[in-house]
Structure 1
Amino acid sequence: MAELPVAKTLKEKAFETIKTNIVDGVWEGGTFLSEKALSELLQMSKTPIRSALDRLEMMGLVKLSPNQGVIVQEVSLKKILEIYELRLALETFAARRLTGKLDQRFFDRLDDNLERQARAIEREDIAEYVNWDREFHETIVAALDNEEYTEAMSRLQDKFVMVVRTTFMKNKSRLWSSREEHLRIRDALAGDDAPLAERLVASHIEYVKTIML
């Protein structure tokens, strides 16, 4: 039991380090990296590295080759913005359908999430905040009670954890404003003005696109 936290920490460290090097352009698209090279660079065994590579492949950032190496995939701004359009369509649809129809259990969960967001911001723990940000949005879509929508949202969020985290790292003041937008979305969902809830969700998502352009 005592070894589990260590393993998780190593997996997370491997994931963050490899992802950062890709996002920052240290390893450009087409770069080939072997597990051995990554193991030497990160000073850890191949097990946490393989776990990190699996996650990165799911996000579309790398492609694992048959000989257990990894090829960095090209991730263009155009591709990222295209996926944002999908997220915009999905989340605004959810807001439109759900406003005024959610029970107290849903709002209890959302309120708990918002409290955890605040604590993460107070500690300036960007990684934790991004996790709660992800859960906030996934909780709303999950309330549609449609497995296809829930799975689609999860896949989209996998691709944008990197983008959102990078945005917050560059602008920490955005953390509080992001949470304030979440609060307004929460209150709108509890009301009866579906167009308002839809507009708030759209504005929240569009902001990151504006930052990236």
Structure 2
Amino acid sequence: MLNLPVSKTMKEQAYEVIKANIVNGVWSGGTFLTEKSLSDLLHMSKTPIRSALDRLEMMGLVKLSPNQGVIVQEISLKKILEIYELRLALETFAARQLTGRLDAAFFERLDDILQRQAGAIEEENIADYVELDRQFHERIVAGLDNEEYTEAMSRLQDKFLIAVRTTFVKNKQRLWGSYEEHLRIRHALAGQDGGLTEELLAKHIEFVKTIML
């Protein structure tokens, strides 16, 4: 049974559940969905579901066809590489700006994410690791306290996670390498060398991009 937060509107609930199933790989690219099946799954009328699907189509996660219904979009290699370029610009800027300026509360949250990442690797839980990877990177950009940057990062991550999950499934050994890079980035953020933090983050992002190619 799905746990839907009661404080959110029906269309928001529909949007979050459908998006989560796409991003987490429950529905892979090319999967065909119908409004009726989604209505049955979410126990709600088609009106909020249509609203959610319109929003997801604008994001490029689904394609609506009058004849075929709803098709989960494949994320092309070109699109993935474009996302990497944007992430590189956003995160390296954040890394340089934030180094040596973050408080204890920030690192408590980051350390909690890192601890849970280690646990996810030991359990070989790729889905959890990927979600925590998202939280790690979003946490850094959120440190800028700039709503536009945070919103842009959130939009990028939805599509990025699809690519990251595929990378880790194909190469599970990469999980520990990714985690160790996160640790080095965390310690660099606590130091005073913004250039070092920027360099570590850039190498981290570029490495995954290399694997995709």
TM over 0.5: yes
2:10 is aligned to none
2:148 is aligned to 148
2:98 is aligned to 98
Deviations 1:38-94 (A, max 9, x none): x4xx9x934289599678646523123468921454532112101210010000000
User: How many Å apart are 1:17 and its aligned residue?
Assistant: 3.1
**SS of equivalent to 1:45:** helix
- The question of 1:131 aligning with 2:131 is answered yes
Change beyond 3 A, Cα 1:160–1:103: same
Deviations 1:122-175 (A, max 9, x none): 111100011111000000000000000000000000111110011001111111
Change beyond 3 A, Cα 1:54–1:136: farther
Change beyond 3 A, Cα 1:101–1:94: same
Read off the aligned partner of 1:45 and give its amino acid letter: D
**SS of equivalent to 2:156:** helix
Show structure 2 runs of 5+ residues with no match: 6-12
Deviations 1:157-206 (A, max 9, x none): 01111100110011111111100000000000000111110000000001
1:169 is aligned to 169
2:40 is aligned to 45
1:18 is aligned to 27
Show structure 1 runs of 5+ residues with no match: none
Structure-1 separation of matches of 2:202 and 2:71? 35
Q: Tell me how many residue pairs correspond in the alignment.
A: 195
Structure-2 separation of matches of 1:157 and 1:59? 11
Structure-2 separation of matches of 1:18 and 1:54? 17
**SS of equivalent to 1:162:** helix
1:158 is aligned to 158
TM-score, normalised via structure 2 length: 0.79
Change beyond 3 A, Cα 1:105–1:212: same
Contact 1:99 1:190 in 2 (8 A): yes
Structure-1 separation of matches of 2:114 and 2:179? 7
Contact 1:181 1:204 in 2 (8 A): yes
1:178 is aligned to 178
Structure-2 separation of matches of 1:53 and 1:123? 34
**SS of equivalent to 2:63:** strand
Structure-2 separation of matches of 1:195 and 1:54? 42
Change beyond 3 A, Cα 1:184–1:46: same
Superposition RMSD in Å: 3.1
Once the two structures are aligned, what percentage of the paired residues are identical? 70
Structure-2 separation of matches of 1:122 and 1:58? 37
2:78 is aligned to 78
Change beyond 3 A, Cα 1:60–1:114: same
**SS of equivalent to 2:26:** helix
Q: List 4+ stretches of structure 1 deviating above 4 A.
A: 3-8, 11-14, 48-56, 65-68
